[in-house]
């Protein structure tokens, strides 16, 4: 009988040797159960072909063609990735709805002698558990926002705080984006579903009895939306504000964004979106500094003309409690360490 999991905790503690996602590679890439491996019953192309036959010819023909494809693919998996599994190996198999694909694969594995089970409801049952945790349920965690102007090393301070014993939630890390106009990272962002799964897993590991430090973000990080349960909690959370002089912030941004400095054409394309907001003269000045290779002056101008005014405007609308203001003269290694010490002291008092 398919195994039913009533909570994320139960599913994550499944007790099986391997979780196998037999959906197509495209479905797997969008999102999957953490730790699962992808052994597709049908490839992306095969799934599309079977679906077309099912709809345009007949369900019977679609199932017949699909069954032959699944049998050949499973044979390849058995002689390939599963070749070294002994008789004691216990796999847990799932597909989209916990139906034919996972049932077919699990049946073949069981006939060999492996104790294979399936997840009742498949991926969709897992997705409902994730939705429940980040959309429906009120989070039990106590959050502290790490706030401050652009370039105050907020993200860089999170691992330093974690090293001191603080619980941290790195939203930009989970979203694979630095949360600004120039914040895209190599490899791009995950799908919204994958982001929510990663977020649900991160929250699951945190102790609700201890405060959690999270960087102050907008409701979107790149193209990804912060789910409502977390966003609601962040709106109510107190803040620790970091303040640093413009020169220190500009120097930090120059180092932090060094990976994109080699592609000025891409940066100029992104800056073009701000011409309607900031005007052509201001954006032209940014581009001139960028093309001249003066990245520190470019970063400073971008903050003075764009990021700082936007932050000041949002601050006027923000009534969250400020626990403390941490002021640092530098944002080099030593400056970040001093800031982390001061923030950690405040967290312990909280």
Active-site residue set: 95
98 touches 2 (CB < 8 A): yes
| Whole-number CA gyration radius for the chain | 25
CB 145 within 8 Å of CB 216: yes
CB 21 within 8 A of CB 92: no
Two structure tokens written together for 55: 């709809």
C-alpha distances in Å from residue 211, one per residue of 63, 108, 142? 52, 48, 5
Query: Which residue from 296, 295, 287, 289 is spatially nearest to 265, judged by alpha carbons?
Result: 287
Strand partners, 220: 225
Q: Cβ distance 127 to 191 under 8 Å?
A: no
Where does the chain have alpha helices with state H?
A: 8-12, 25-30, 44-56, 59-79, 100-112, 122-131, 154-163, 171-175, 192-205, 228-236, 246-256, 264-271, 275-278, 280-291, 295-302, 308-316, 333-349
């Amino acid at each position: 009988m398919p195994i039913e999991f009533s909570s994320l905790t139960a599913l994550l503690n499944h007790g099986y040797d391997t979780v196998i996602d037999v959906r197509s590679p495209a479905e797997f890439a969008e999102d999957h159960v953490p730790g699962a491996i992808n052994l597709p019953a049908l490839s992306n192309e095969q799934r599309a072909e079977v679906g077309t036959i099912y709809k345009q010819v007949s369900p019977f023909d679609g199932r017949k063609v699909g069954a032959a494809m699944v049998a050949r693919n499973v044979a390849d998996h058995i002689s390939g990735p599963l070749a070294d599994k002994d008789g004691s190996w216990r796999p847990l198999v799932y597909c989209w709805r916990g139906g034919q694909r996972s049932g077919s694969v699990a049946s073949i594995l069981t006939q060999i002698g492996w104790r294979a089970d399936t997840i009742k409801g498949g991926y969709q049952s897992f997705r409902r558990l994730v939705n429940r945790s980040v959309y429906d349920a009120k989070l039990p965690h106590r959050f502290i926002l790490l706030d401050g102007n652009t370039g105050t090393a907020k993200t860089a301070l999170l691992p330093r705080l974690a090293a001191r014993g603080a619980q941290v939630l790195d939203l930009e890390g989970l979203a694979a984006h630095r949360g600004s106009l120039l914040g895209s990272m190599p490899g791009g962002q995950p799908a919204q579903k994958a982001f929510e799964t990663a977020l649900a897993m991160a929250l699951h590991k945190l102790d609700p009895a201890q405060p959690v430090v999270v960087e102050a973000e907008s409701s979107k990080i790149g193209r990804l939306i912060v789910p409502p349960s977390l966003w609601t909690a962040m709106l109510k959370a107190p803040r620790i504000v970091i303040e640093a002089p413009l020169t220190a912030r500009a120097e930090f941004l120059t180092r932090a964004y060094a990976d994109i400095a080699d592609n000025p054409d891409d940066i100029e394309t992104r800056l073009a979106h701000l011409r309607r907001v900031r005007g052509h003269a201001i954006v032209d000045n940014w581009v001139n500094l960028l093309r001249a290779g003066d990245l520190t002056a470019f970063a400073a101008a971008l903050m003075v003309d764009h990021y700082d005014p936007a932050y000041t405007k949002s601050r006027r609308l923000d009534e969250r409690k400020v626990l403390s203001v941490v002021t640092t003269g530098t944002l080099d290694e030593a400056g970040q360490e001093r800031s982390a010490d001061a923030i950690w002291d405040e967290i312990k008092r909280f």
